[in-house]
């Protein structure tokens, strides 16, 4: 945490000027999604995952909402996300799901954050530092059952479990694994991962020991498709925000998107044939068209890769973005329809019977909805509403 160089956090600091380009988060929908998942997985507990600025929805506000809904745990990816939640007064237990560095352990203890122990060396390190500070670290053991990212391989896990039982300065309250393919149509690999996790857990029964009270494995895909993987607590991410993790995964829970991305028309003009639009002059019209300019671009996370594919909704109708997407502006062809300065523009959201979804943007950008949502950056203000 200490460094000679300054840490620069590129956030807009004023609350006074709100850009017309903003993200609107519907807290009622988020709460409805939470309850729908909870109902489906009960009696399993809930660990909503709030990493990457709560999938773009705003870490602190979503954190407060989850606490008010009685979330049993909160999952984040990195230490700083946990510290921010604590500094904002969140008291719900928080598990940092990612790998840790030894010098971070005192911060976990200071902020009462739960540590992922992903190897036996790290387990000993946490034990040693906890002993020195005369504190008890909360730990969840991470087992790799088929992701090859972090965690002890399932076929080597016995040593870690044995060691964890002997650590006197640790509260080993959880053991978990993570799916690589739970949102797929073909669930064979996911089922193999469950079998491997079961094999690891059988250690406790074999040695007549109580397993940690929180065994967990289920992300969105598994919550939707593999109820046998609910165990004691589930870790919903994307589905909590109302988006399904893949086109193939079955939609066994009814959720709706909590996030809308909106802007307004900042400029109106008529474009003549022979006058191409934008950098590289990649698009031009062969007849007179009306066009509007919208103050959003790849500098906000509206990916340039969507150029010549993206559409927006104005006055309840979809129109194409033309020319290349710039850093801060896009141009929309409305043909011979009407639109006026200040008219609302939907980049993601619903208007009348028309909608644009994070899945649509993902398709245009050649990526997944996760990346679309987590890339709407801090220049875009978040506004919270209750429908």
Residue with smaller CB distance to ligand PLP, 224 or 314: 224
Per-residue burial over 241-269, b = 16 or more CB atoms within 10 Å of its CB, e = otherwise = bbbbbbeebeeebebebbbbbbbbbbeee
- Give the span between the Cα atoms of 231 and 173, in whole angstroms: 14
* Distance in Å, CB of 75 to ligand PLP, minimum: 6
From the CA atom positions of the chain, what is the Rg in Å? 24
Q: Angle at which helices 157-166 and 188-206 pack, to 10 degrees? A: 40
What is the footprint of ligand PLP within residues 245-264 (CB under 6 A)? 245
Whether 279 is a known active-site residue: answer yes
Residues 6 or more apart whose CB falls under 8 angstroms from that of 191 comprise 226
Contacting range for ligand PLP; rule: CB under 6 A; set: 35-43, 120-128, 231-239, 248-256: 231-239
* Distance in Å, CB of 240 to ligand PLP, minimum: 7
Q: What angle do CA 262, 263, 268 make, to 5 degrees?
A: 145
* Distance in Å, CB of 306 to ligand PLP, minimum: 22
Whether 51 is a known active-site residue: answer yes
Contact criterion met (CB below 8 Å) for 374 and 16: no
Catalytic residue among 51, 122, 138, 262: 51
Q: Angle at which helices 120-133 and 157-166 pack, to 10 degrees? A: 10
Contact criterion met (CB below 8 Å) for 63 and 75: no
Contacting range for ligand PLP; rule: CB under 6 A; set: 233-241, 251-259, 323-331, 359-367: 233-241
Contacting range for ligand PLP; rule: CB under 6 A; set: 237-245, 338-346, 356-364, 373-381: 237-245
What is the footprint of ligand PLP within residues 158-197 (CB under 6 A)? 178
* Distance in Å, CB of 77 to ligand PLP, minimum: 6
Catalytic residue among 110, 155, 267, 279: 279
Q: Quick check: 59 binds ligand PLP (CB under 6 A)? A: no
Q: Quick check: 49 binds ligand PLP (CB under 6 A)? A: yes
Contact criterion met (CB below 8 Å) for 118 and 99: yes
Q: Quick check: 237 binds ligand PLP (CB under 6 A)? A: yes
Q: Which residues bind ligand PLP (CB under 6 A)?
A: 49, 51, 97, 178, 219-220, 235-239, 245
Enzyme catalytic residues: 51, 279
């Amino acid at each position: 945490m200490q460094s000679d160089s300054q840490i620069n956090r590129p956030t807009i600091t004023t609350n006074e000027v709100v850009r017309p380009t903003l993200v609107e988060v519907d807290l009622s929908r988020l709460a409805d999604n939470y309850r729908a998942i909870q109902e489906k997985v009960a009696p399993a507990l809930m660990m909503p995952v709030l990493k990457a600025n709560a999938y773009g929805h705003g870490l602190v506000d979503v954190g407060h909402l989850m606490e008010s809904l009685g979330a049993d745990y909160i999952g984040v990816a990195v230490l700083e996300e946990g510290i921010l939640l604590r500094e904002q007064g969140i008291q719900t237990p928080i598990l940092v799901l990612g790998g840790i560095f030894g010098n971070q352990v005192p911060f976990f203890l200071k902020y009462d954050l739960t540590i992922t122990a992903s190897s036996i060396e790290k387990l000993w390190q946490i034990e040693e530092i906890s002993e020195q500070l005369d504190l008890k670290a909360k730990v969840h053991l991470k087992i790799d059952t088929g992701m090859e990212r972090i965690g002890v391989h399932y076929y080597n896990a016995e040593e870690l479990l044995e060691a964890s039982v002997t650590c006197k300065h640790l509260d080993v309250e959880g053991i978990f694994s993570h799916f690589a393919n739970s949102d797929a149509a073909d669930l064979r690999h996911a089922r193999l991962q469950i079998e491997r996790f079961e094999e690891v857990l059988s250690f406790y029964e074999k040695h007549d020991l109580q397993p940690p009270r929180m065994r967990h494995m289920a992300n969105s895909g598994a919550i939707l498709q593999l109820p046998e993987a609910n165990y004691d607590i589930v870790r919903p991410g994307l589905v909590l925000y109302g988006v399904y993790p893949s086109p193939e995964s079955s939609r066994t829970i009814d959720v709706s998107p909590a996030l809308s991305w909106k802007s307004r028309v900042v400029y109106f003009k008529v474009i003549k044939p022979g006058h191409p639009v934008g950098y590289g002059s990649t698009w031009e019209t062969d007849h007179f068209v009306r066009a509007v300019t919208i103050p959003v671009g790849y500098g906000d996370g509206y990916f340039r890769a969507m150029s010549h594919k993206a559409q927006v909704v104005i006055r309840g109708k979809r129109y194409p973005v033309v020319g290349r997407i710039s850093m801060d502006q896009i141009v929309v062809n409305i043909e011979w329809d009407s639109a006026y300065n200040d008219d609302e523009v939907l980049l993601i959201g619903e208007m009348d019977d028309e909608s644009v979804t994070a899945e649509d943007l993902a398709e245009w950008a050649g990526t997944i909805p996760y990346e679309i949502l987590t890339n709407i950056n801090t220049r875009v203000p978040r506004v919270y509403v209750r429908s």
